[in-house]
Structure 1
Amino acid sequence: LIERRLGASSSFRPYLALLPSSFPSLPFNHLPFIRAALGRCSPLLMSIVDKAQEDLAGMHFFLSATLNLTTVEKTMAASAGRSAEGRGKGQMENDDFGLPMSGPLTVREYLWAVCVVLTRAVPMKDATGRSLELIAPMIDLVNHNSSQYGASGVAYNETSDAFEFFTTSAYQEGDEIFFAYGPKTNDDLLRGFGFVEANNRFDNVFVGTILQPILMQDAALADALDFHPEGIQPATDDDDGQRLGLALSAERSELLREHRSD
């Protein structure tokens, strides 16, 4: 945020010029009808997204009350021998983010910065082996492919003072390189990066949210028919584990099929 507000005087200006102005593919930026459809397909994902939105609102309130970006930006500019007020002529040509270049932290500005970090932070390890999430300009242009998990990655080389890409895969000149952002399901990828991957080796489906309404309906029907084979207890509101066994009972399933055919 501070570097963006420094405009043309920022050392990161070329990188900032590459960043998207918006992130419509992230779930908490989806249009209402898309959110509704996604909620029906993956209610667990949407519950996580809704909670994240609440947390983001609280964090913005905290930061806007405690962080004076204008003061920080002027201090940085002064320490670097540059003037934040006098940068207008050379201001970023692509500064069409619709965000303020000075003043208090706005909601839109904060969410833009959060989206940049969410979608572009690169997992690294420091000299002690501690895991970090860093904004690493240019390295974050490498796209994700789950097949590269454990086969490629990025590390910082302290000796050469540079980020290095390593891989065990064979690449020809002109090939696009990939690394895996982690063992992430498609829900993870959609929530954190705004995309899903075909043939994702780590993808899975949480069947509980899909089966539960069906099992509840079938269990209620079995209760209504007073159908409780030996060893299977009547369903109760808090009965989770028994429902699957009840639903998959061959004898009960046959009775339900006959009842529905009638």
Structure 2
Amino acid sequence: MKRTLFIALLCLPVWLYAQTNCEIYKDGPHNLACQLYDNAIEYPQGSKTSQQIFLESIKACPTYAPSLHEMSVPYLKRGDFYTWKLLIDRAVKADPQYLSQRGWCLFKFLRDFENAYADLKRLYTINKGQPGYTGDGDYDLRIIMALSQREMGNNKLAMQYFNECIRDHEKQGIVGLFDYLHRGVTNFKLKNYNAALTDLLLETKKYEKLADTYYYLALTYIKLKQPETGIKNLLKAKELYTKTGYHRNDPYCESPDQVYLADIELALRKYKGR
């Protein structure tokens, strides 16, 4: 069976449901909204019953952010970004911590890098440099800030966020699964080939069977005038991609720095005869 690596659980946000202690809300509207929220999450996400109860919760307290947020998620998954945005904007207004979800989803689903960064930078300031993680848990949001800046052409500012985040995580021994890959690719774009090589080799230690990493390693070795090593890495990337299926893939979204088989084969045709 092909073992394709699915990133971010089909690129859909995942939130763990837990009953809320509604007793923390002393006023009636908030308390009722909380109880209705707890009732709604007992039903399948996006079901008619669940959405109707969330609507009742919001009617009881129009500023109850958890219900506003949770009601928005099915619209996001269905591609109704307009309705999602109306609801998530109200959630953010009620509780700025939901900037994390709005910013991440603007980056992931809408490729709105400018507004994604603006949301996450605001949260970064509010939380004193610790904006938190993406809804799927794959990334520290500083990595998303870095990638947003990179996509806007601001590679040097992107590197500042990469370095800050990775340095913090190295101290704790919890570097993200793809953090070295993204910083390595960014170093490659900046023509810092030795730094790119270091990062990409670190990525192979983090996840040794990812075709995408070996593709970028190959390009880096070629730039460092080691074409034979480059070709070996391209061949390894192709093998991992075709025979074992270890590559980044998502049926809904293109993942950052994702590589396709066509990219690998094109590079092999270009460099193998040299």
TM-score, reference length from structure 1: 0.22
The structure with the larger Rg is: 1
The TM-score with structure 2 as length reference comes to 0.22
